[in-house]
């Protein structure tokens, strides 16, 4: 007789409802894939209005308190879609203590408290699955864990926040100012009314931290990840980047270089003719380079009820497989850090040590000799110029835009400090990272 694995959903918001709908609509397909019967026997959400118009079968109990859900001893898998860190953390830890497998889409929770959760899961012989926490419908966790399991991962980069990609796309295509593009993203439902997590880069930082943990087994603290968002990017820089043949994208990086691991998020110029530069609107893409497979790129929807629900249910199916592989017992792992233990003692690359090209825009007095002063400062620090041009600005000012060859960021900061002290340089220089691949 086919086993019946019972599930509890904690949180019935957009993703929670999408998960329930997918399990109902594709029940036969899901159960064939899982090789077992799957039943949702409990759903918890304090807002009863979320259940209006939803036909929940009589076998499924509705709870207003997620912790009441855990008292149902028949539930073997809980899906945490509460969001946030405080209540969600308490719930996940309580579920693990009850020896229930956990599926979550909560990237912030795992990025900040993953070690504690991992340790407790191992002690209780269960696992935590989190495919839905990174890049929505792109199965990047399984790609790294399974599809690229034979490779040493050398490089990961990605557009992993749809809100910021939509904003930058509209600034590029239509010449919108940042605030205009943000307002449009809100009206289209791509940005929250408080977009801080997205536009300031924190959402991308959570995701790349999890990917770096997975690929490299890092032992860093999340707060050590250098993070810069797109807030206040000037549309003129988007335009100038295009003149150089580049696009500006908010990129997240995780890479091994010189016995150190870089994990960071920042706006970056990349060549307009590469695939990553043509990821448009609210879409996501993740690039992974392995030492044998070379460069690979994965593209898809990064958010929304259906793509995220698809990843949640894929993890539910994976948990069911884990029961059969381990006779009902978990493998004792929160999946981060299981691939490459040789990297566990690598240091984290400091921001000033990161090697890349750089885009620099300076507002200067429009008079002879200023350009030679600027290039002289760069030369004094052995910073090589790749290309540059000068644009007339308002009044008697001009703008000098420079692309440098690769050098460490620390040198650039030294140069900028010197440039700001020049009499004919006005205001703070604008600087962005430049990469030739992504």
Instruction: Give pLDDT, residue 326.
Output: 59
Instruction: Give pLDDT, residue 257.
Output: 85
Partners of 39 in the β-ladder: 6
Nearest to 389 by CA among 271, 241, 177, 168: 241
Distance from C-alpha of 305 to C-alpha of 228, rounded to nearest angstrom: 27
97 secondary structure, DSSP code: H
More confident position, 383 or 327: 383
Residue with tokens 């996940």: 92
Distance from C-alpha of 414 to C-alpha of 391, rounded to nearest angstrom: 24
Report pLDDT digits (tens) over 35-84.
999 999 999 999 999 999 899 988 999 999 999 999 999 999 999 999 99
The domain 353-434 is classified under which CATH number: 3.40.50.2300, 3.40.50.720, 3.40.50.12160, 3.30.70.260?
Answer: 3.30.70.260
- The domain segmentation of the chain, as residue ranges, is 4-136+305-334, 140-300, 353-434
Mean per-residue pLDDT of the chain: 92
Query: pLDDT-derived band of residue 9, with 50, 70 and 90 as boundaries?
Result: very high
| CB contact set of 323 (below 8 Å; sequence gap of 6+) | 3, 5, 36, 76
**In angstroms, what CA-CA distances link 4 with 34, 70, 75, 113, 117?**
11, 18, 10, 32, 27
Distance from C-alpha of 402 to C-alpha of 249, rounded to nearest angstrom: 18
β-pairing, 355-365 vs 425-434, is: antiparallel
Q: Is residue 333's pLDDT more than 50? A: no
Structural contact between residues 75 and 40, judged by C-beta atoms closer than 8 angstroms: no
Report pLDDT digits (tens) over 310-325.
999 999 999 998 776 6
CATH-assigned architecture of domain 140-300: 2-Layer Sandwich (3.30)
Whether 207 sits among the annotated catalytic residues: the reply is yes
State pTM to two decimals: 0.92
Report pLDDT digits (tens) over 157-199.
999 999 999 999 999 999 999 999 999 999 998 999 999 999 9
Report pLDDT digits (tens) over 120-161.
999 999 999 999 999 988 999 999 999 999 999 999 999 999
> Which of 207, 363, 426, 437 does the annotation list as catalytic?
207
Report residue 184 as tokens: 């449009």
**What's the fold here for domain 4-136+305-334?**
Rossmann fold (3.40.50)
The packing angle between helices 14-25 and 27-34, to 10°, is 80
Residue 406 — left, alpha, or beta (φ > 0 → left; ψ -120 to 50 → alpha)?
A: beta
């Amino acid at each position: 007789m086919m086993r019946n694995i019972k599930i509890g959903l904690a949180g019935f918001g957009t993703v929670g409802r999408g998960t329930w709908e997918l399990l109902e609509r594709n029940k036969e397909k899901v159960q064939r894939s899982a090789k077992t019967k799957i039943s949702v026997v409990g759903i918890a959400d304090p807002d009863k209005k979320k259940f209006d118009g939803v036909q929940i079968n009589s076998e499924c109990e509705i709870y207003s308190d997620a912790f009441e859900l855990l008292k149902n001893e028949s539930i073997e898998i809980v899906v945490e879609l509460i969001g946030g860190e405080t209540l969600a953390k308490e719930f996940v830890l309580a579920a693990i203590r009850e020896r229930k497998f956990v599926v979550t889409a909560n990237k912030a929770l795992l990025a900040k408290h993953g070690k504690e959760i991992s340790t407790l899961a191992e002690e209780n012989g269960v696992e935590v699955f989190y495919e839905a926490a990174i890049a929505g419908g792109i199965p990047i966790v399984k790609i790294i864990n399974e599809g690229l399991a034979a490779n040493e991962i050398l490089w990961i980069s990605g557009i992993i926040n749809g809100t910021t990609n939509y904003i930058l796309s509209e600034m590029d295509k239509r010449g919108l100012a940042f605030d205009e593009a943000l307002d449009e993203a809100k009206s289209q439902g791509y940005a929250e009314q408080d977009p801080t997590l997205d536009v300031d880069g924190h959402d991308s930082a959570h995701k790349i931290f999890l990917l770096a943990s997975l690929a490299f087994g890092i032992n860093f603290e999340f707060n050590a990840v250098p993070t810069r968002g797109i807030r206040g990017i000037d549309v003129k820089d988007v335009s100038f980047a295009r003149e150089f043949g580049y696009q500006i994208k908010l990129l997240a990086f995780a890479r091994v270089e010189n016995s150190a691991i870089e994990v960071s998020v920042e706006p970056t110029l990349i060549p307009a003719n590469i695939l990553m530069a043509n990821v448009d609107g609210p879409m996501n893409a993740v690039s992974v380079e392995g030492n044998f497979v070379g460069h690979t790129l994965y593209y898809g929807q990064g958010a929304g009820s259906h793509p995220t629900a698809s990843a949640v249910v894929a993890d539910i199916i994976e948990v069911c497989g884990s029961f059969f592989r381990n006779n009902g017992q978990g493998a004792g792992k929160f999946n981060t850090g299981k691939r490459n233990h040789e990297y566990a003692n690598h240091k984290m690359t400091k921001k000033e040590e990161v090697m890349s090209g750089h885009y620099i825009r300076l507002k200067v007095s429009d008079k002879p000799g200023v350009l030679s002063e600027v290039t002289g400062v760069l030369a004094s620090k052995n910073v090589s110029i790749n290309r540059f041009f000068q644009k007339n600005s308002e009044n008697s000012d001009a703008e000098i835009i420079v692309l440098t060859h690769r050098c460490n960021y620390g040198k650039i900061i030294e140069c900028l400090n010197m440039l700001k002290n020049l009499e004919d340089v006005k205001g703070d220089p604008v600087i962005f990272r430049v990469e030739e691949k992504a």
